[in-house]
Amino acid sequence: MSLPRFPLYIDGAFVEAAETFESLDPSTGRAWALMPAAGEADVNRAVAAAERAFHDPSWAELTATQRGRLLTRLGDLVARHAGRLAELETRDTGKIIRETTAQIGYVADYYRYFGGLADKVEGAHLPIDKPDMEVFLRREPIGVVAAIVPWNSQLFLSAVKLGPALAAGCTVVLKASEDGPAPLLEFARLVHEAGFPKGVVNIITGFGEPAGRVLTSHPAVSRVAFTGGPDTARHILRNTAENLAHTTLELGGKSPVIVFADADLESVSNAIIAGIFAASGQSCVAGSRLYVERAAHDRLVDILKAKAARIRIGDPQDQASEMGPLATRRQYEHIEAVLARSVAEGATIVQGGRRPAGLPEGWYFEPTIVLAAGNGIPCVAEELFGPVLSVVAFDDEPQAVALANDTRFGLASGIFTTNLTRAHRLIRRLRAGIVWVNTYRAVSPIVPFGGYGRSGLGREGGAESILDYTRTKAVWIRTSDDPIPDPFVMR
């Protein structure tokens, strides 16, 4: 039986790549579609199209308000076609249909937000120290943007790049991950329908070599926006040494959640379950390190074990499923290996830790809870990107802060306590780009998103993110009617 084929989207047209590869359904492990593998020539065509479109009057001479209307129209199309996009994301990545439908529906609001922001970027008048001069600043689009996203939450992660880039007047080559690219390749049809001039948005997929390398090192690329792993980020930084492209990196995390004994443990447990087992733990902000005050440790662990054991694992297309499979076989094998090392070094698995019964195909993994003595255990220190919660007890506030900050990452964090003064103390002390207090995993287009340390460089989302897609131009105007004096006559 022939498999459905997905094309690239370059210069306003849907085109075939010279090579294809099979995309695997994570719930079965079997091929379900053929994806285009962009080669060097495909990438060069996409960047050339974006560079040409950047200067073409059909895009370059649009007003900011007109660009905003295009983005708003794109948001409306995303909302209208959320069901189709969600179905494809679930099929290609294994995320449950309830989650993909809800998330993609909210992604529409990101495009509407950035659409409204497009004509809010302002310059400035400078009170210059020279009486015969007027100086003002303009904000102008930076140029061609290379946007690279992973398979997880790819429509959201694309929106926080495409939205501000297009609002600012840039053009974009968006590279979807080779793991589960179907929803972004389908999203290209909505870009086309929205009416963006050809070449303004180009959507490709392919492998790091050659597609990723050629794209991020291309001399016509002025800006790289990347979300993914630290190893790939290092390659990108080396590649951008060739074109000196301005670069932002969002690299995931190993986010701590701190629970004090005064918290409502029943309520807290729901936030923790959502924070680590939603999307099968395959979220950059997953609350994978849980630090619990010793007086509440055993009770909270018992509550979490009972709730994790009741999670319905199954076909991600089934509305009744609460957790689906991991996205790739290598992720499944990585988690197994890290858990084995953790147990060998003294950790105890108290829930899960294996393939669920009755699901012999695909890459399903049980929601797993591990008790550990400290941060030295592999499952506590390493980003697993899966449904594994590591639990460590602490005795006092300084120890909790020290444990939480003992990491190379710094994307997100959570605090649960009814003591407001304590919460404010910890907000100041936690080294993380996001601090949630008595909640977890909330997002909004209005709020910046990004981390400290090895969680990356820069921020996405919020009003300021559009400025990262602009350059400042200083304009000097001489206001005196007097002749310019001879520069060689000293006065």
> pLDDT by residue (tens digit) across 210-221?
999 999 999 999
Burial track 176-207 (b if 16+ CB lie within 10 A, e otherwise): bbbbbbbbbbbbbbbbbebebbbbbbbbbbbe
Tokens of 341: 């090392």
Assign 190 a pLDDT band (cuts: 50, 70, 90): very high
pLDDT of residue 1: 66
Partners of 140 in the β-ladder: 471
Residue of 436, 384, 446 lying closest to 411 (CA atoms):
436
- pLDDT, averaged across the chain: 97
Residue 252 pLDDT greater than 90, yes or no = no
Percentage of the residues of the chain whose pLDDT score is greater than 90: 98
Q: Which residue from 74, 150, 148 is spatially nearest to 109, judged by alpha carbons?
A: 74
pLDDT at 483 over 70: yes
What pLDDT band is residue 389 in, cutting at 50, 70 and 90? very high
pLDDT digits (tens, 9 = 90+) for 427-448: 999 999 999 999 999 999 999 9
Does a cis peptide bond (omega within 30 degrees of 0) precede residue 210? yes
Burial class of residue 284 (count of CB atoms within 10 Å of its CB; 0-12, 13-18, 19+):
buried
pLDDT at 472: 97
Given a cut of 80, whether residue 490 has pLDDT beyond it is no
pLDDT band at 203 (very low <50, low <70, confident <90, very high): very high
Q: What is the pLDDT of residue 321?
A: 97
Average pLDDT (277-302) is: 97
Average pLDDT, integer, range 38-46: 98
Count CA within 13 A, CB hemisphere, residue 238: 8
pTM of the predicted model, to two decimals? 0.95
Q: Report the pLDDT value the prediction gives residue 27, as an integer from 0 to 100.
A: 97
| Beta-carbon-side half-sphere exposure of residue 199 (alpha carbons within 13 Å) | 18
For residues 7 and 4, give the distance between their C-alpha atoms in angstroms, rounded to a whole number.
10
Task: Kindly name the residue from 89, 186, 250, 383 that is annotated as catalytic.
Answer: 250
Superfamily of domain 8-250+461-475: Aldehyde Dehydrogenase; Chain A, domain 1 (3.40.605.10)
Q: Give me the mean pLDDT over the 46-69 stretch.
A: 98
Per-residue pLDDT averaged across 320-341, rounded?
97
What are the strands, taking DSSP E only, across 328-417? Answer: 348-351, 368-371, 388-394, 412-416
Which among 188, 287, 227, 280 has a CA at the least distance from the CA of 458? 227
Query: How would residue 3 be classed by pLDDT, with cut points 50, 70 and 90?
Result: very high
Which residues, including other chains, have CB under 8 Å from residue 363's CB and lie 6 or more apart? Answer: 26, 29, 94, 325, 326, 327, 328, 329, 331, 332
Per-residue burial over 37-48, b if 16 or more Cβ lie within 10 Å, else e, is: bbbeebbebbbb
Give the pLDDT band (50/70/90) at residue 315: very high
Residue 66, number of CB atoms within 10 A of its CB:
12
**Cβ neighbourhood burial of 480 (10 Å; 0-12, 13-18, 19+):** exposed
Nearest to 216 by CA among 158, 163, 154, 173: 173
How far apart are the C-alpha atoms of 255 and 276, rounded to whole Å?
Answer: 10
How is the chain split into domains, by residue range? Answer: 8-250+461-475, 256-437
Please give the structure tokens belonging to residue 380.
């506590």
What is the CATH T-level fold of the domain 256-437, as seen in this structure? Answer: Aldehyde Dehydrogenase; Chain A, domain 2 (3.40.309)
Strands (E) in 108-170, as ranges, are 124-126, 133-141, 144-148
Nearest residue to 204 (alpha-carbon basis) of 25, 491, 6, 390: 6
250 is catalytic: yes
pLDDT the model gives residue 491: 66
Residue 443 to residues 65, 79, 268: CA-CA distances in angstroms?
A: 26, 18, 18
| Backbone φ, ψ for residue 139 (5° rounding) | -105, 120
Could you tell me which residues come within 8 angstroms of residue 306 by beta carbon, excluding any fewer than 6 positions away?
Answer: none
What is the arithmetic mean of pLDDT over 15-34? 96
- Amino acid in position 399: Q
DSSP 282: -
Confidence of residue 489 (pLDDT cuts 50, 70, 90): confident
* Percent of the chain's residues with pLDDT above 70: 100
**Residue 13 to residue 211: CA distance in whole angstroms:** 19
pLDDT tens digits for 66-98? 999 999 999 999 999 999 999 999 999 999 999
- 361 to 94, 96, 158, 409: CA distances (angstroms): 13, 16, 31, 34
